[in-house]
Chain A
Amino acid sequence: MKKYLCSLFCVLGAVGMLAAEPGFGTREYRLTVMGEYSYNKTWGHHGNLDVQSLLPFNDYFEMEAKVQLSSANVYSGALQFRPKFELPVGEMFIETDLYYRAVVRNQLGDLTAALGVGYRMDYVSVTLGMYGRVFDDWKRDWHTNDTYVVEPFNLLYRVEVFCRPQDTNWNLSFLFSNIDDYQMERMWQPLFGVGAWCDLGDNWRLVFGAQCKPTGMFHLDATFYGATFRTGFTYRF
């Protein structure tokens, strides 16, 4: 296993040597508010309101808190704690995530907890880890054993490729992952995304994002399932 990890870091390091530019990673607080239009075959057309904050406590630790309110009667929250270590090239971080989705329309909760290792450079960010999930029935009967379902070990992966270094004033990125800001899908249910930002002065940033979720990719009969488009502003200070 160590050999494979070493090989992985060698490859990432080599890519980083080619791709990275100095100055990656700035320490700043961020508050983001976004509006989303979303569609999927189960919930139909719906809108979401996202509020996200990034709190860098010091050079080695940052925290993110995220809330999403959806007109599909689903409410999601996420807490992410991220110890990080500056490397000669890029930055390594440990991803510890706690997501909760209150699916009011279906009277159940979806709690996921993840632990992963990440490495980010100017042009690439990669995270790999594991997560566990508990589906919780709100109308639980304590006298039966049917109150929750545990899915203990799922693979978490996230690969984002940027067109420009991350400390520039605009950027475009492409994302392949089974997680996003508010959900952790099963490992065989990938999400494809595009993201972009453009700085409007020193403090304000305009952000865009789009995401597509197919189903049945590993049934070898993939079809479109859902898509999300989001835009909003980030205030940095």
Chain B
Amino acid sequence: MKDMKKIFYIAVAVVLAACANDDTVLDMKGMFSPQGETVNVRFQQSKTYNDSVGDIHLNMQADDYVIYVCTDSHITKKAHRNLDYFVAQYDAANGPKMALHLGDLIDAQKNYACADSILHIGTRTQADTLFITPGNHDIYFKQWSVYRSFFKSSAYWFDTRNGNKKLDLFICLDSAEGSLGTEQTKWLKDLLAEKSQEGYRHIIVFTHTHLWKLDSSQGHTSNYALEETYELTYTLAKYGVEYVWSGHQHARQHVTFQGVQYMVLDATKDDEKGQHYMTVAMGDEINYAYFAYPQL
């Protein structure tokens, strides 16, 4: 009976923790209806911004360059040691480089200012750029407007170049609520149909929510609906996407399906088991390596 009580209390605590923000306000409503802008609205606002600033072409000034990739840092004002380390490693690296964060930058509300002080979002130059995709923690509890004020867009594409030579295409998708929505899905298909004909060396998609549920290590986090899983995997394979990088699960996973390699990264969150970030050496071939965060 004691065990039953313990399980009940743990279950309640898990639900409360999942639903609480920094002010420990329980917001169960998000489980049943959207509490902020839906993915279609976020996509339209992102598209408007993208159209206003034009296409992003990163001139790497070399064919080979390095990408630093991390995910699920879940920072709070008190817990951001691993993200600090990731940024320090990135800043210290020589040569052409860029960085990707695959979502869940913050843990809950009121942590974007802290993220800004670590990432220096506004002062990074075009050749030294951080790209990010939103995770569920970044936008729920009506945080989209704050996210948008820092990062402007949740769905976009950019490419890397060496002078006029096209290198690689990167597509960022907003999967923060476990679905791409109708508008973004259509945009993705149109974009891939067009760009897959332009001779890019590699096409890489990055987003927060992972496609496969190989185990239960992600706890109470969800994937896409089955119909969307079928359609998305088919679309990515059809247009020659080589890699899909995502997070959300907090545990590394590598699956190849229909020729597309789906990689889920370990979390960057402090004090979590198996924290790693990834570096990717981009060239004619892609080589990746994982690096553990230092333990205290």
Contacts and interface: CB of A to CB of B under 8 A. Distances in A.
Contact of B31 (A41, A42, A149, A217): A217
A113 to B, nearest CB: 16
Interface residues on A, range: 35 or more
Contacts of A3: 3-4
Contacts of A226: 225, 227
Nearest to A44: B182
Given A106-B231, A189-B223, A220-B31, A215 B256 contact: no
Contacts of B279: none
Contacts of B178: 215-216, 218-219, 221
A146 B18 CA distance: 35
B59 interface: no
B136 A216 contact: yes
Interface in B232-263: 233-234, 255-260
Given A185-B226, A215-B225, A221-B140, 19 more contacts: A3-B3, A40-B225, A41-B228, A42-B230, A106-B233, A135-B257, A139-B258, A144-B259, A146-B258, A151-B212, A152-B214, A186-B213, A213-B225, A217-B222, A218-B178, A218-B220, A219-B140, A220-B140, A221-B177
A215 to B, nearest CB: 4
B19 interface: yes
Given A42-B231, A217-B32, A219-B221, A110 B226 contact: yes
Interface residues on B, range: 35 or more
A108 interface: yes
A226 B3 CA distance: 39
A103 to B, nearest CB: 5
Contacts of B257: 135, 137, 146, 148-149
B224 to A, nearest CB: 7
Contacts of A187: 216
Contacts of B33: 222-223
A188 interface: yes
B198 interface: no
Contacts of B34: 221-223
Given A135-B257, A189-B223, A215-B222, A106 B27 contact: no
A150 B185 contact: no
Contacts of A225: 179, 225, 228
Contacts of A4: 4
A235 to B, nearest CB: 31
7 contacts: A43-B227, A103-B230, A108-B233, A188-B222, A222-B177, A223-B34, A223-B38
A85 B259 CA distance: 47
Nearest to A138: B258
A216 B40 CA distance: 14
B227 A40 contact: yes
A117 B39 CA distance: 38
Contacts of A137: 257-258
B274 to A, nearest CB: 20
Contacts of A149: 212, 214, 255, 257
A110 B212 CA distance: 13
A7 interface: yes
Contacts of B231: 42-43, 105-106
Interface string B115-152: 00000000000000000000010011100000000000
A141 B4 CA distance: 50
Contact of B222 (A7, A107, A146, A186): A186
A188 B258 contact: no
Nearest to B229: A135
Interface string B1-38: 00110000000000000110000000100111111101
B179 A216 contact: yes
A105 B238 CA distance: 12
